[in-house]
Amino acid sequence: MISPLRNYRLCWHVNKALRLDLIRKPDLEVTDNKKRVHAHFALFTYEDEINFVQYNFIGNKSSGIFLIPELKEVDYLLLMRGDAAGRMKQEVMGILKNTSGIQALFEMNPAGLRSKQNLIFE
C-alpha cells in the first residue's frame, strides 16, 4: 500500500473498511548484521477465527530503513495468512482500492522477494 497517512490512522481506515480489529503489537524488530542496522517497524495484527485468517499490517519504512528494500515505494504491507487467505484476497483488494487514505495498492508474492525472511515472525 502507498499512503501518506501515519500507521495508526491508515490502520483505522483499514479496520473500518474490512470490519477488522487490527491491534497494535510490539514493533517488529529487524537487525541487518551486514550493515549493523537495527530497525523497528509498526505492527498491527488481527485473528479472524471464523475464516481462520491472520492479518498483519506492517510499516515498510523506519527512519530511512526498509523492511522489504526491494519495495521502497511501498509504505505499508498487509499480509494475510491462513486457510481462507487465498480466496479472500481479491475481495479484500477490491475493498481496499476504494478505501480513503490509500493512494495505490499492489499484490505481491512474498516467495519472490529477496528479503522475505523479514516477513517471518510470530
pLDDT digits (tens, 9 = 90+) for 49-66: 998 999 999 999 998 889
Say if residue 1's pLDDT is above 70: yes
**1 lies in some domain:** no
Diameter of the chain measured on Cα atoms:
42
**43 lies in some domain:** yes
**80 lies in some domain:** yes
Number of domains in the chain: 1
Range of the domain at 44: 7-119
Position 24 scores a pLDDT of 97
Mean pLDDT value of segment 13-17: 97
List, as own/partner pairs, every contact residues 83-89 make where C-beta atoms lie below 8 angstroms and the sequence separation is at least 24, other chains included: 83/51, 83/52, 83/53, 84/51, 84/52, 84/53, 85/53, 88/51, 88/53
**26 lies in some domain:** yes
What pairs with residue 82 in β-bridges? 53
**92 lies in some domain:** yes
What pairs with residue 55 in β-bridges? 46, 80
CA–CA distance, 115 with 68 (Å, rounded to integer): 6
pTM for the full predicted model: 0.89
pLDDT digits (tens, 9 = 90+) for 67-104: 999 999 999 999 999 988 888 999 999 999 999 999 99
**2 lies in some domain:** no
